[in-house]
Homo-oligomer: A and B are copies of this chain.
Amino acid sequence: MERVIGKRPYSDLIDRLRAAGLRPTRQRLGLAKILFEGPARHVTAEMLHGETVDEGIHVSLATVYNTLNQFTEVGLLREIVVDGERSYFDTNTSDHHHFYHAGSSALEDIDHDDVVLGPLPAAPNGTRITRVDVVIRIEDS
């Protein structure tokens, strides 16, 4: 994530939110900063909320949920479901797959090209395929 020296620190994020039709509010900017600075990552609402507390940003848990859902709707995040308990949001929105560590519930990205799929079966009548998820479950050996 390159940052141009001399620019106002949030201007990239402001533009990004505006482009997505979301008002660049204090809380959305704070969350976007945490999410999109640094390398790609996987967060839950609870994790993200914890980080806002650590940083002294005041954002309610409800807003964290709202924001994660909105960011997902506009394509800034991708929602991943691996176990039934909680939802993960992936800042890597490209087409890719996941390792799921059953013990720690941690996710790890697998590059799209590292999983080779043959031709997919035909979708049932009246439907079309919108996404293919491959989850490779791993355990400590």
Contact = CB atoms under 8 A, between A and B. Distances in A.
A117 interface: yes
Please tell me the size bucket of the interface on A: 35 or more
B129 A136 contact: yes
Contacts of A81: 81-84
B131 A121 contact: no
Contact of A118 (B99, B117, B139): B117
A120 B127 CA distance: 29
The complex is assembled from copies of this chain, and their number is 2
Contact of A121 (B114, B118, B139, B140): B114
A118 B120 contact: no
A135 interface: yes
A130 B139 contact: yes
